[in-house]
Amino acid sequence: MTFKMKKIISLFALAAFVLVGFSSCDYDGKDDAYVTHYVSIDLKEGDTYLVAKGSTYTDPGYTATEGTEDVTSKVTVSGDVDANKMGIYNVTYSAVNKDGFSASVTRKVLVYDPEVTTNISGTYKVTSTDGSQSVFDRYSVIGNSVTLTQLAPGLYSISDYWAGLYAVTLGNGAAYACTGYFAFGKDNSITGISSSNPWNFNMTSVTGSYDPATGKVKMDVIINYHLVMELAK
């Protein structure tokens, strides 16, 4: 057998080995990658819902889908609303998909007082301060701005219960403000609802009043610090 013939036979043998090798590797069609669909929850009437004080709260409804499948029945609703008390209530809607991943959305329910007709929204300047915390003596907040925003009759947000102590006076920026909400009564009284700050200090109390004759707002705030401040436009 010539060298050329041996070379041809060797090439055929190699080709046969390759064909056999590939034919023995069956593709089972399996893949480690897969798609999971998180539950998408849609809130009817949006994520903010107004309820008049003294009325009855009824959930406006929701729908949920997982991919193309309707899974509304799998949604769990948590959170109570007292329609007889002004406030901002969180109602949470949650569901878990078939792969065990959870999803949730929250609706804010604002219970307002339709009898409150005065609107004290606006940006005020701090004109005087008092209280038991010397920090406000060392670091003055006089002249700082505080914004009050009406969300619904008798319900307000406040830009900073600390009157800009950290955000403005100490120069840390808006992320260090103590934001929050308060109720405003038809007798011009102010009552704190909730607050939020980077250190998670709880609200002990917030009381105050509005003077229609002068347009001034006075607040007595106890949220870690005790600050009595007067605000004027």
Query: Residue 149: which pLDDT band, with cuts at 50, 70 and 90?
Result: very high
pLDDT at 1: 53
Query: Residue 133: which pLDDT band, with cuts at 50, 70 and 90?
Result: confident
This model's pTM is above 0.85 = no
- Residue 126: pLDDT above 50? yes
SS3 per-residue string spanning 122-175: EEEEEEEEECCCCHHHHCCCCCCEEEEEEEECCEEEECCCCCCHHHHHCCCCHH
Domain with CATH 2.60.40.10 in the chain: 39-112
pLDDT at 8: 43
User: How far, in Å, are 99, 136, 227, 230 from residue 128 at the CA level?
Assistant: 58, 11, 10, 5
Query: Are residues 146 and 163 in contact, defined by beta-carbon separation less than 8 angstroms?
Result: yes
Domain with CATH 2.40.128 in the chain: 122-232
CATH number of the 122-232 domain: 2.40.128
- Residue 31: pLDDT above 60? no
Identify how many contiguous H helices and E strands the chain contains and give both numbers: 2, 15
Distance between CA 116 and CA 153 in Å, rounded?
6
Distance between CA 175 and CA 32 in Å, rounded?
43
Kindly report the average pLDDT of the chain as a whole number: 89
- Residue 190: pLDDT above 80? yes
CATH architecture of residue range(s) 39-112:
Sandwich (2.60)
